[in-house]
Amino acid sequence: MDLFSASKTPSSPEAVPSPTAPLSARMRPHTLDEVVGQDHLLAEGCLLRRAIEADRFNSLIFYGPPGCGKTSLAEVIAKTTARRFERASGVLSNVSILRKMLDEAAQRKKMEKRQTVLFIDEIHRFNKAQQDVLLPYVEAGDVSLIGATTHNPCYFINAPLNSRSQLFQLEPLNETALRTLILRAMDSPLGFSHQAVLSDEALAFLAQTCEGDARMALNALEIAVLTTPADPTTQIKHIAVETIEASLQKRAIRYDKDEDEHYDTISAFIKSVRGSDPDAAIYWLAKMLKAGEDPRFIARRLVILASEDIGNADPRGLPLAVAAMQAAEFIGLPEARIPLAQATTYLASAPKSNAAYLAINKAMSDLEKGDVQLVPDHLRSGKKIKPSDQSYKYPHDHENHYIEQAYMLQQKKYYHPTDQGFEIRIKQQLESKADTSSNDE
């Protein structure tokens, strides 16, 4: 073993991956441009990319869900900056191991003038004493720490270590990014170049079902290819969606985004809620979520439904739908299914009224036909009222906080409350006011 081969330890990103290594390890990116799915951090001009390319960073903490590329990004950073890469684990590494790695990094900086990237996976598993060991070395710049965690570092990492690090949140990979990785693995000599062909249906299902986890996608692809016999004539393996289903242990649900099945399913969902069938509504909700539909799209439809189809029959429906939308955005899948299910069942079970929806549509229609009224003088803001004009009457100065007066030059009736739920009380209140006005006449 010569000096150069000895320097390329198994933990070093410079080492050529073994052909027997998992596909997810063989397909790790080598440059920043090969990293996919984190454009909010690595697009041209972004802070993190500028810091890496200028080799001007101290310590970083990456947090995000499994399979979003935290380890891969750490390795790319070490390659881009030509720093030594050392790997530790929050599960396996103890204080003595850490001290040895840190002392070696300090010595390397002093003797070789070479910086070291110390990557610690699952850093949130370190206890306070283990995290405190890192502080003096990070403070002195003896090592550039890159910590990776699936937990919020503000709660699971010591404040002194947080304050010495820049925090970056990595997002789950979207379908486009997963497709790019899958196709790259199919075409690469390190993957399955000239060995297998993946059907379009299998590609779409794999990208949709892996919930933003690149490792899950590549592991499933590898299992599918390795367990599929080659065509006797061409020696090519043909990977169908059924094989990917078996590899993921999930059934493919027919659901073509932005095509008929997408629109048919959301239509069935909306009509089930409108038709007061919570069971059917829950089924269509589950189908959309299983098929990989964006939960934010579903949440927006629920907010619209709450006003269009429930309205004032149950005024609590709209704030509940908005809360479900905010919760889904905040917590993400898979837990987002729970507030979405709560809102769906509530709205489907609530009394229904489209009176407010019809009212705004009728008013908009009148305006489109050219029925544009001026604001009456006594309702205008900041205008001098002529002595001959009727002055504005302040309702709170009158009995029951109501006084009859004109609020339009030409009175029109748009809102017709129904007898459903809470809206019947609104109807009775409006009718009571109308009766009071007629009696005054």
Residue 440 confidence (pLDDT) above 90: no
pLDDT at 79 over 70: yes
Tens of pLDDT, residue by residue over 383-412, are 555 555 558 888 888 888 888 888 888 888
Mean pLDDT of the chain: 87
Q: What is the pLDDT of residues 99-146, one digit of tens each?
A: 999 999 999 999 999 999 999 999 998 888 889 999 999 999 999 999
**Residue 249: is its pLDDT beyond 90?**
no
Q: Could you tell me which residues come within 8 angstroms of residue 125 by beta carbon, excluding any fewer than 6 positions away?
A: 90, 91
pTM of the entire predicted model: 0.58
**Which among 245, 249, 246 is positioned nearest to 204, based on CA atoms?**
245
Whether 4 shows a pLDDT value over 70: the answer reads no
- Helix 278-290 with 337-349: angle, nearest 10 deg: 150
Which pLDDT belongs to residue 390?
59
d(CA 75, CA 55): 14
Query: What average pLDDT score do residues 230-251 get?
Result: 87
The predicted structure's pLDDT at residue 251 = 57
Residue 381: pLDDT band with limits 50, 70, 90: confident
Name the residue with tokens 């069942």.
345
Q: Is the pLDDT of residue 312 over 60?
A: yes
For residue 6, the model assigns a pLDDT of 36
Quick one: pLDDT at residue 10?
A: 40
Around Cβ 425, how many Cβ atoms within 10 Å?
A: 11
Interval 413-431: pLDDT, tens = 888 998 988 888 988 888 8
User: Taking 50 as the threshold, does the pLDDT of residue 354 lie above it?
Assistant: yes
Torsion angle of the four alpha carbons 134, 137, 139, 145, in this order, in degrees rounded to the nearest 10: -60
What is the band of 441 on the pLDDT scale with cuts at 50, 70, 90? low
Residue 58 to residue 134: CA distance in whole angstroms: 13
Question: pLDDT band at 7, cuts 50/70/90?
Answer: very low
Separation of CA 341 from chain center: 18
In the three-class reduction of DSSP (H, G, I as helix; E, B as strand; rest coil), residue 257 is classed as: coil
- Give me the helices (H) in 54-190, please: 70-81, 95-112, 128-140, 153-156, 159-163, 175-187
**Distance (Å, rounded) from C-alpha 436 to C-alpha 433?**
5
Domains, in order of start, for the chain: 31-169 (3.40.50.300), 175-248 (1.10.8.60), 260-349 (1.20.272.10), 374-440 (1.10.3710)
Helices (H), 33-94: 39-42, 47-53, 70-81
Comparing 151-160, 166-175, 316-325, the range with the smallest average pLDDT is: 151-160
pLDDT band at 15 (very low <50, low <70, confident <90, very high): low
Q: What is the pLDDT of residue 11?
A: 46
Please list the residues that pair with 237 across neighbouring strands. 196
**Facing residues of 62 across strands?**
148, 168
Give the chain's radius of gyration (CA, Å).
31
Nearest CA-CA partner of 221 in 201, 202, 234, 235: 202
Which run of H or of E encompasses 62?
strand 60-63
Average pLDDT of span 48-61: 92
- Position 257 scores a pLDDT of 54
The answer to whether residues 30 and 17 touch, using CB atoms and an 8 Å cutoff, is no
Asked if 418 contacts 387 with a C-beta cutoff of 8 angstroms, the reply is no
Residue-wise pLDDT tens digits, 176-198: 999 999 999 999 999 999 899 99
**For 119, phi and psi rounded to 5 degrees?**
-95, 125
